[in-house]
């Protein structure tokens, strides 16, 4: 795989993540609850990922029982709560607003990395945090007129999705020290499925599963917006830097906004779109900071 193909894989993966709101919204219209949708995504994604890894390299399915703690973190504490917050935010606000509030995750990663790993809080990172805060203020309607465009509950759900998604990077950092990224992804969704299913009431939705549209959305949610993009993103990361991949992935909220606009006719004002641009800019600032830090580390190692 060459560099251009890797870039394409990352872009396609981000775009597929961006259309997740369409499947979620259609499942809500059919009658599913947010918890049931989280369970359906976790179960279907786990199934597709296990089948993929089993045919690709079944050795990747082997883990130590003592390492289950990593996947409790990535699967239960992160993915379950991240998905519930995101899907609930979509229901409470809109696909566009929920998607951009999810992209506060890099700001939370910066804060957690400072607290847990003592990573330097540089001027560039601080500026990214400020830009994220101001951008979110425009998106939710606090700025420029102080008239809130969305409910406080919707805002908290959106920030919650960013918070718990950020925790995936923190827990995943420990898991990836011992396991392949595909192994981490598979067990993340397996643990998420086992944790959320008993509390989701998904079995009560039996009559809804007789709807062919529901199965199209479930397959779309589990395969096209979860398993496939994770596989493509992982393949792309094998050829390009993670910081570059993260910057390309910022097309996700753009795609999500287009889905909301073109399919569900969601309307945002000019200030909200300005806020979306600011949040995406903050992500780019943070990732460029990481890229420069990595280069400086590499230069110092070569000179020593």
Q: What does the domain layout of the chain look like in residue ranges?
A: 3-118+151-265
Q: How many Cβ atoms from other residues are within 10 Å of residue 152's Cβ?
A: 9
- pLDDT at 193 (0 to 100): 97
Q: Which residue has the tokens 């560039």?
A: 124
- pLDDT at 303 (0 to 100): 39
- pLDDT greater at residue 255 or residue 140: 255
Distance between CA atoms of residues 249 and 166, nearest Å:
15
What are the tokens at 126?
């601080």
Whether the per-residue pLDDT at 268 is higher than 60: the answer is yes
- With CA atoms as reference, report the closest residue to 40 among 71, 83, 81: 83
- pLDDT at 242 (0 to 100): 66
- pLDDT at 220 (0 to 100): 97
Whether 148 contacts 141, CB under 8 Å: yes
Give whole-number Cα distances, 274 to 60, 119, 140, 144, 221, in Å: 44, 30, 11, 11, 29
Q: What is the pTM of this model?
A: 0.87
pLDDT tens track for 185-214: 999 999 999 999 999 999 999 999 999 999
């Amino acid at each position: 795989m060459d560099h251009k193909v890797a870039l394409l894989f990352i872009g396609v993966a981000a775009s597929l993540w961006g259309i997740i709101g369409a499947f979620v919204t259609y499942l809500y219209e059919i009658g599913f609850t947010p918890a049931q949708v989280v369970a359906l995504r976790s179960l279907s994604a786990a199934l597709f990922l296990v089948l993929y890894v089993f045919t690709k390299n079944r050795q990747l399915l082997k883990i130590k029982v003592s390492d289950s703690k990593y996947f409790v973190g990535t699967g239960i504490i992160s993915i379950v709560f991240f998905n519930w917050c995101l899907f609930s935010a979509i229901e409470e606000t809109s696909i566009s607003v929920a998607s951009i509030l999810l992209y506060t995750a890099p700001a939370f990663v910066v804060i957690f990395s400072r607290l847990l790993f003592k990573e330097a809080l540089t001027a560039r990172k601080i500026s990214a945090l400020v830009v994220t805060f101001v951008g979110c203020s425009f998106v939710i309607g606090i700025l420029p007129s102080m008239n809130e465009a969305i409910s406080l509950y919707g805002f908290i759900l959106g920030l919650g999705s960013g918070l718990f998604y950020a925790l995936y990077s923190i827990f995943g950092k420990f898991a990836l020290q011992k396991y392949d990224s595909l192994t981490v992804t598979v067990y993340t969704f397996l643990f998420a499925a086992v944790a959320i299913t008993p509390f989701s009431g998904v079995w009560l939705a039996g009559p809804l599963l007789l709807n062919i549209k529901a199965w199209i959305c479930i397959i779309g949610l589990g395969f096209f917006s979860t398993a496939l993009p994770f596989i493509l993103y992982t393949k792309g990361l094998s050829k390009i830097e993670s910081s570059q991949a993260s910057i390309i992935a910022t097309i996700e909220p753009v795609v999500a906004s287009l889905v909301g606009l073109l399919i569900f006719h969601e309307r945002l004002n000019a200030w909200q779109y300005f806020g979306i641009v600011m949040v995406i800019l903050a992500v780019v600032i943070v990732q460029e900071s990481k890229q420069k830090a990595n280069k400086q580390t590499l230069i110092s190692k070569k000179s020593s």
